[in-house]
Amino acid sequence: MADPAAASGYHDPPPRMGFFTDTSVCIGCKACEVACKEWNAVPDDGLAFTGMSYDNTVGLGADTWRHVAFIEQRRPVPAGADRDGKEGEAEDGLRWLMASDVCKHCTNAACLDVCPTGALFRTEFGTVVVQEDICNGCGYCIPACPYGVIDQRKGDGRAWKCTLCYDRLGAGMTPACAQACPTESIQFGPLDELRQRAAARLDQLHGEGAAEARLYGEDPGDGVGGDGAFFLLLDEPEVYGLPPDPVVTTRDLPSMWRHAAAAATGLMAAAAAAFAAEWLGRRG
């Protein structure tokens, strides 16, 4: 699907907007988490000390729409070249990865597919948003999300997640997290432009020897048709708690329905045949 907004029935929609989160420059300040909660009036969700490095947020949820992960890795660190250009021996070192996670605003969004009320909808910017005044709290979207992003708020029952600041986008503004990010780790813009920028940044990092740098969610050919919010990672996605090969959970739904329909038709035909045989037998 080239443009999910056009496919959803918008005539001449604006360019698809998204996030490119370049984790290689994230400094772990959590300004994105605070700015998100301030703008969207998301409640705090508990004063729990986790001891997971500096991450006391743990993951995305109904009350956390941006989450900064902190990962401490013991690995060899290149010593760098000396004055004669000779590379030094790699030393045992420690690497501290930080990465700000968010709703991926999938091209093929399963949460949207399964929502029975129409509370979840595709915006003209190609993003996926829950309307809080329509959501009835059925919770179908929660197991449908291949990333485990959308979540039910306790004591409220409705489903909540990142709106990519739909209210700000409508006024031509940048989402709160991207606005607050001091290192431009979170970049906001037309998705086409972000993909070009990400490819250039990846080339630069590979050129500087960061062979493990990779993009995550930028490929329109992946299991969710590409993410509206994609990432540059410095290691395997699993290291950051991201699924390595997400697939839209409604992918097999049409084929499942076709199989169920074929089975139902077959059963009805068999029953009809049994009655017909009985009737013919009696006549005979």
Partner 1 sequence: MQADGKAWLFAPAGLVDGPLPVHYEPQESPFRNPLYGQQRNPVRQVTGFSHPGNRLQPSGGEPGADVFPYVATTYRLTEHHTAGGMSRWLPYLAELQPEFFCEVSPELAAERDLEYLGWATIVTARAAIEARVLVTERMVTLTVGGRRLHQVGLPYHWGGNGLSPGDSANDLIGLSLDPNVHIQEDKAFACDIRPGRRPRGPARLDLVQEYQRRAGITGQTGMEV
Tokens read off for 43: 């409640």
Question: In whole angstroms, how close is the CB of 186 to partner 1 at the nearest point?
Answer: 16
Binding mask 43-72 for partner 1 (x = CB under 8 A): xxxxxxx-x-xx-xx--------------x
Question: In whole angstroms, how close is the CB of 93 to partner 1 at the nearest point?
Answer: 10
- Nearest alpha-carbon partner for 61 in 103, 4, 122: 103
With binding defined as CB under 8 A, does residue 152 bind partner 1? no
- Nearest alpha-carbon partner for 114 in 248, 230, 209, 228: 248
With binding defined as CB under 8 A, does residue 221 bind partner 1? no
Kindly identify the residues of this chain, within the stretch 73-132, that bind partner 1 according to CB under 8 A: 74, 94, 96
Q: Which is nearer to partner 1, 72 or 203 (CB)?
A: 72
Report whether 187 contacts 200 (CB < 8 A): no
Q: How far is Cα 120 from Cα 158, in angstroms, rounded to an integer?
A: 11
Please list the alpha-helical segments (H only) found in the chain: 4-7, 31-40, 110-114, 141-144, 166-170, 176-180, 191-207, 253-283
Name the phi and psi angles at 138, rounded to 5. Answer: -70, -30
Q: How far is Cα 162 from Cα 35, in angstroms, rounded to an integer?
A: 12
Q: Which is nearer to partner 1, 28 or 237 (CB)?
A: 28
Question: In whole angstroms, how close is the CB of 123 to partner 1 at the nearest point?
Answer: 26
Q: Which is nearer to partner 1, 41 or 270 (CB)?
A: 41
Q: How far is Cα 105 from Cα 68, in angstroms, rounded to an integer?
A: 18
With binding defined as CB under 8 A, does residue 30 bind partner 1? yes
**Listed ranges 23-31, 134-142, 220-228, 236-244: which one lies at the site for partner 1 (CB under 8 A):** 23-31
**Listed ranges 37-45, 163-171, 246-254, 264-272: which one lies at the site for partner 1 (CB under 8 A):** 37-45
Question: In whole angstroms, how close is the CB of 92 to partner 1 at the nearest point?
Answer: 10
Q: How far is Cα 12 from Cα 139, in angstroms, rounded to an integer?
A: 32
Question: In whole angstroms, how close is the CB of 46 to partner 1 at the nearest point?
Answer: 6
Return all residues near 59 (Cβ < 8 A) that are at least 6 apart: 67, 101, 148, 241
Selected from 25, 34, 138, 142, the binder of partner 1 by CB under 8 A is 34
- State the Cα angle at 47 between 46 and 52, rounded to 5°: 105
Q: How many residues bind partner 1 (CB under 8 A)?
A: 24
Q: What 3-state DSSP class applies to 198?
A: helix
Selected from 19, 32, 37, 234, the binder of partner 1 by CB under 8 A is 37
Question: In whole angstroms, how close is the CB of 113 to partner 1 at the nearest point?
Answer: 33
Question: In whole angstroms, how close is the CB of 31 to partner 1 at the nearest point?
Answer: 8
Selected from 6, 7, 25, 29, the binder of partner 1 by CB under 8 A is 29
Q: How far is Cα 95 from Cα 26, in angstroms, rounded to an integer?
A: 13
Which residues would be at the binding site for partner 1 (CB under 8 A)? 28-31, 33-34, 37-38, 43-49, 51, 53-54, 56-57, 72, 74, 94, 96
